[in-house]
């Protein structure tokens, strides 16, 4: 398929994004603008210099820069501007539903109030719902390199806003921080009505995916790349329809895989796994939803049926109502049926 034709097809697909860290959508231009506004000096003297630093050997190298960038976010307006910039971008790529992660501990640990963070993010999401017709869910992540005790404090801080928060997740440095470290706070989160997801099997082993399922009781695995090494796990994911939210450009940038041709998503589809594609931290990894779809399709030679299945899977895996899921899935099918053979 011609690159321009493939890009046009991908652009037209109605899409849901389920694995997006809002702090990871912080483009250098906006970072410099907010840093100037808040009188904060960045380590880099130009946007070009900062972009050159977006070259990582592993997850930890990325996280080090990610947390530095987050330091400039101080006021509600900053979080609003960050979120609104992301939503405008994905609206231009025909993303119609988002399920957004935010990392309150990244901000509260440096003295920014939980209320400041969530108010800015939520107001932008509501604006996008009204003006751009993008529906949303909001997921609060616990940072796994910190203690479970710290996660409990974050859970407590969230309770006045739990009518805004749909679920909790687990992100940050995976190696050495297994899901089992957070069993109690995930149980408490479920008792407060939060849905449960966790990053597992990105850099960590298959065992972390088992732990997320059996100990944390998650309904969705974020990443899950390593699952194909365990036939029993593949069978479990397929039989229980556990979604995987994969992030191909992220996987290449963080050396989870060496090249896009090695990405497991096509094999996962072949095995009947509910695999989906998302952008993770798009400002740092070189692409939003359309770029992730395009680079994956090009490298793996995905056909239209596979692209359609990926889009349908994302709506199936979402936390939308059954009725709304079916509406979007019908739109995806209609879109592909209208394409020229």
Binding-site entries for substrate: 281
User: Distances in Å between the alpha carbon of 185 and those of 24, 71, 149, 168, 322?
Assistant: 25, 26, 8, 10, 29
Contact 278, 245 (CB under 8 A): yes
Distance from chain centroid for Cα 340: 32
Between CA 307 and CA 137 the distance in angstroms is 24
Among residues 14, 13, 16, the alpha carbon closest in space to that of 319 is found at 16
Provide the token pair at 297: 């399709």
The answer to whether residue 202 is catalytic is yes
DSSP structural state of residue 280: B
Alpha helices (H) in 38-182, listed in sequence order = 47-52, 59-70, 76-91, 104-108, 114-131, 148-158
Interacting residues of 160 by C-beta distance below 8 A, sequence separation 6+:
115
Binding-site residue set: 19, 21, 199, 280-281
Supply 172's token pair: 């940050």
CA–CA dist 177, 157 (Å, integer): 23
- Count the Cβ atoms, other than its own, within 10 Å of residue 45: 10
Q: Which of 27, 76, 174, 202 is catalytic?
A: 202
CA pair distance 312, 330, nearest whole angstrom: 9
Binding residues for Zn(2+): 19, 21, 199, 280
**H/E stretch holding 237:** helix 231-239
Q: What is the DSSP string of 196-228?
A: EEEEESSSS-HHHHHHHHHTS--SEEEE-GGGG
| Residues with catalytic function | 202
């Amino acid at each position: 398929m011609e690159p321009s034709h493939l890009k046009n097809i991908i652009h037209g697909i109605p899409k849901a994004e389920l694995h997006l860290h809002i702090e990871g959508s912080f483009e250098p231009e906006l970072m410099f603008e907010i840093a100037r506004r808040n009188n904060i000096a960045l380590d880099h003297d130009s946007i070009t210099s900062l972009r050159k630093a977006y070259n990582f050997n592993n997850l930890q190298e990325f996280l080090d820069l990610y947390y530095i960038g987050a330091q400039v976010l101080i006021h509600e307006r900053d979080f609003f501007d960050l979120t609104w910039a992301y939503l405008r971008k994905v609206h231009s790529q025909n993303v119609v539903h988002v399920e957004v992660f935010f990392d309150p501990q990244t901000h509260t640990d440096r003295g920014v109030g939980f209320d400041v963070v969530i108010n800015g993010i939520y107001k932008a999401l509501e604006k996008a719902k009204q003006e751009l017709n993008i529906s949303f869910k909001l997921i609060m992540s616990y940072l796994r390199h910190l203690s479970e005790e710290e996660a409990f404090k974050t859970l407590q801080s969230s309770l006045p806003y739990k009518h805004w928060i749909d679920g909790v997740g687990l992100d940050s440095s995976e190696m050495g921080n297994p899901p089992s470290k957070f069993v109690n706070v995930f149980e408490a989160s479920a008792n407060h009505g939060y849905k449960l997801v966790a990053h597992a099997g990105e850099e960590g082993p298959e065992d972390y995916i088992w732990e997320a399922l059996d100990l944390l009781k998650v309904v969705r695995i974020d990443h899950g790349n390593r699952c194909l090494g365990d036939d029993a796990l593949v069978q479990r994911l397929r039989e229980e329809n556990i979604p995987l939210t994969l992030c191909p450009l992220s996987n290449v940038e963080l050396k989870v895989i060496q090249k896009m041709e090695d990405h497991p998503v096509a094999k996962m589809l072949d095995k009947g796994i509910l695999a989906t594609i998302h952008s993770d931290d798009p400002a740092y990894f070189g692409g939003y939803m359309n770029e992730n779809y395009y680079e994956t399709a090009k490298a793996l030679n995905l056909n239209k049926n596979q692209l359609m299945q990926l889009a349908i899977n994302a709506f199936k895996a979402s936390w939308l109502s059954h009725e709304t899921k079916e509406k979007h899935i019908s739109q995806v099918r209609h879109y592909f049926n209208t394409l020229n053979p």
